[in-house]
Amino acid sequence: MTYKTVLVHVDNSPAAEMRIRLAATIAAQQHAHLAGCAATGITRMSDDAGAIGYLDATASQYLSQAGVALRARAEQALESFDRIVRNADVRSHEATLFNDDAASAISLRARYSDLAVISQFDPENNAGALQPDFPEYVVLNSGRPTLIVPFAGRFETVGRRPLIAWDAGTAATRALGDALPLLKSAKVVDVAVFNPEKSGSKHGAQAGDDIALYLARHDIQVEVRRVSTPVDTGNALLSLAADLGSDMIVMGCYGHSRFREILLGGVTRTVLETMTVPVLMSH
């Protein structure tokens, strides 16, 4: 089992090069096709303008000029993508330009990919005019696993020492299955079960043993970490990742989307806001 198509969000943000290089590394390891997707945001801008109502000639001219500038900016980002990937050992690659907003474009294009690679929202360097809920929107609306890369730090590889946040729920199960292509190359996979004494019978006789056996049948070496902590699970998970030297967290995304309003569970929100390593999420 491998990924055959890896999608990466392309823009002009400071985090873009690291994100693209990491996506290219994953694509090379998986012998996968790499698709770079940039979005102009023109459609959203036009829709917002149309909602205002009547536009005079000056406003229409401004929108037209802004559209040209946005398209040129997106094309420049794709040129950088092509330059970076040309020197990577990827099977094949393509660059695609959408006029939609980034969240909608990436969510749509991800449905034809095995893995989407995006970045954590960076309020200080929002070059692509992304909505703050961009990462969670993609996770909740793409139907595909999404690797979210922190906007700060350097991440050359993922999957050598993954940490799985396991609560025996459906979202966690989906995320673990989606991560298998990366888990198979790991030296060891840590499975974290937080406060198992409070989880009732869903973990079985010994928390973590059933999922460890499942992974072992995939020839994956597993260490189960049963953690009892008074700290909230999100922060406890990030702390454990730091202690273990994890290079990726795998977890389910708990939440739902109501129009453009994103409602998330507390653990998901904490990790999205304060992540320190790439996080693979599925919903």
* pLDDT tens-digit map of 155-176: 988 999 999 999 999 999 999 9
Cα–Cα nearest to 13, from 129, 147, 155: 129
Least confident among 4-13, 37-46, 94-103, 177-186: 37-46
Using the predicted structure, report yes or no on whether residue 49 has a pLDDT greater than 80. no
Q: Which amino acid is at 26?
A: I
Q: DSSP string of the chain?
A: ---SEEEEE--SSTTHHHHHHHHHHHHHHHT-EEEEEEE--HHHHHHHHHHH----HHHHHHHHHHHHHHHHHHHHHHHHHHHHHHTS--SEEEEEEESS-HHHHHHHHHTTSSEEEEE---TT--TT---TTHHHHHHHHH-S-EEEEPSSS--S--SSSEEEE--S-HHHHHHHHHHHHHHTT-S-EEEEEESGGGSTTTT-SSTTHHHHHHHHTTT--EEEEEE--SS-HHHHHHHHHHHHT-SEEEEE--EEEETTEEEE-HHHHHHHHH-SS-EEEE-
For β-strands 222-227 and 162-165, DSSP reports them as unpaired
Using the predicted structure, report yes or no on whether residue 237 has a pLDDT greater than 70. yes
Contact yes or no for 178/212 (Cβ under 8 A): no
pLDDT band at 41 (very low <50, low <70, confident <90, very high): confident
Distances (CA, A) of 195 to 107, 168, 233: 34, 13, 9
Domains annotated for the chain, with CATH where assigned, are: 5-149 (3.40.50.620), 162-282 (3.40.50.620)
Mean pLDDT within 253-262: 67
Mean pLDDT within 178-193: 96
* pLDDT tens-digit map of 113-137: 999 999 999 988 875 578 889 999 9
* pLDDT tens-digit map of 264-277: 778 899 999 999 99
Model pLDDT, residue 197: 80
Least confident among 198-202, 221-225, 243-247: 198-202
Q: Which amino acid is at 192?
A: A
> Which residue did the predictor score with more confidence, 87 or 252?
252
Using the predicted structure, report yes or no on whether residue 210 has a pLDDT greater than 80. yes
Model pLDDT, residue 51: 45
Mean pLDDT within 21-33: 96
Least confident among 84-88, 143-147, 185-189, 253-257: 253-257
Model pLDDT, residue 28: 95
Using the predicted structure, report yes or no on whether residue 97 has a pLDDT greater than 50. yes
Q: What tokens does 266 get? A: 């507390």
Provide the b/e sequence for 42-79 (b: ≥16 CB within 10 Å).
bbbbeeeeeeeeeeeeeeeeebeebbeebbebbeebbe
